[in-house]
Each structure stands twice: as structure tokens, then as C-alpha cells.
Amino acid sequence: MGFGLKLVRSTGMDGFTGNQESFPIQPSNTSPIFTGDLVQLDGGWIVEASGAEDNADFSVLGVFQGCRYVDSNGDFVYRSFWDGGANRENIEAYVGQPDGAMFLIKGAPDTDYTQSAIGSRFGVVYNAGSTVYGDSRVTLAASPASTGPLLVHRLHRTPNNGFDTDGPVFEVSIARKQGHPALA
């Protein structure tokens, strides 16, 4: 089981929270989004970037970090995930967009990664997130994708983590191209 994308380091004094922006979620969106999921804009609304493995247009905006909305009682509610519930207004997603950030992501179970994964681009495999903890269960795809949104930099330096480990942990960055709206 994966744990989504977890920030391991970023550049600059603002860190992760200083590079976090809010974007709207369509009230009719019933698809859950969990902390650590890649997200993108679709028609001006935040959605899970579930097509990230074939993401040739680099439309990944950042990493979901929770949301805020007004519930049917008129109360502000802050959550670590969007559950797609009804009768909510003013829904804002918090999206981390730290420039130069490195994230941890677990490799897919039962996959034989090799040294050639380093420096390659990969997509992600979406698994249902945790509604108890609100975190993602996304893992690294099993094979490289030339248009995948994640660039693998290295195996994470942790005891007992290696290519021969079931579901090794990698350090990745979000691959972006010059002129991407997230960098403007």
C-alpha cells in the first residue's frame, strides 16, 4: 500500500506552506481527493490527476494538501481530504506547489525496479485513499512513461530500502516544462 506524495525537502525559506495556493473544487465533484494526491485544473476546478501516467501536457498543478468548505449549517469545515459530499459551498482545495521540491513515494508492490529507474519519468497508480486519516495511497507506476509527471531522482536513503525491497521508497520531483502555469 502506498502513502501518496510526502514532502521530503524544498528550496527557499518559504518551504511547503509558503508555496501553497488555494483553488476551487466544483461542488458537484463526487470524486474523493486525498492529501498526497497529484491534482490538476480541469475547467477551472481542481480534480485528482488520475490520468497522470499519460500526462503529456504537464497539466499536474501540484500536491493536494486538504480543503476547506462551508457546510449546510453555514460552518467552515477544514479536512485533510475531499470526500465529494453534497450541500457544500465555497470549496477551496489547498495545493502545494513548492518549486524545487522533492517528494517521497512508494513503488508499486510486486514490481522489480532497477537502477535504470533513476532519472526516468513515471506516472502514478491511484488506489483508494484513507477516509480515516485522509491520506493518499498513490504509488509509483510499475514502468517508466516518457510523459509521466514524476521524475525519479534516487532511492530514499533509509535502512532496508533497496531495489530488492517490495515497494521501495523513491525521491521524486514533479516534472515541469518552462512556461507551465504553475510556475507563472
Reported as a single tens digit per residue, the pLDDT across 68-110 is 999 999 999 999 999 999 999 999 999 988 777 899 999 998 8
Give residue 5's pLDDT.
92
Output the nine-digit C-alpha cell for 115: 537502477
Tell whether the model's pLDDT for residue 64 goes beyond 60.
yes
Tell whether the model's pLDDT for residue 55 goes beyond 60.
no
pLDDT in tens, 103-113: 999 999 889 89
Amino acid code (one letter) for 143: S
Name the residue among 88, 93, 90 with its Cα closest to residue 39.
93
The share of the chain scoring above pLDDT 70, in percent, equals: 86
Least confident of 11-15, 117-121, 127-131, 137-141: 11-15
Give residue 15's pLDDT.
62
Give residue 67's pLDDT.
96
C-alpha–C-alpha distance, residues 23 and 135, integer Å: 19
Output the nine-digit C-alpha cell for 87: 450541500
The pTM of the full predicted model, rounded to 2 decimals, is 0.87
Tell whether the model's pLDDT for residue 142 goes beyond 50.
yes
Give residue 137's pLDDT.
93
Tell whether the model's pLDDT for residue 17 goes beyond 50.
yes
| DSSP-assigned letter for residue 118 | T
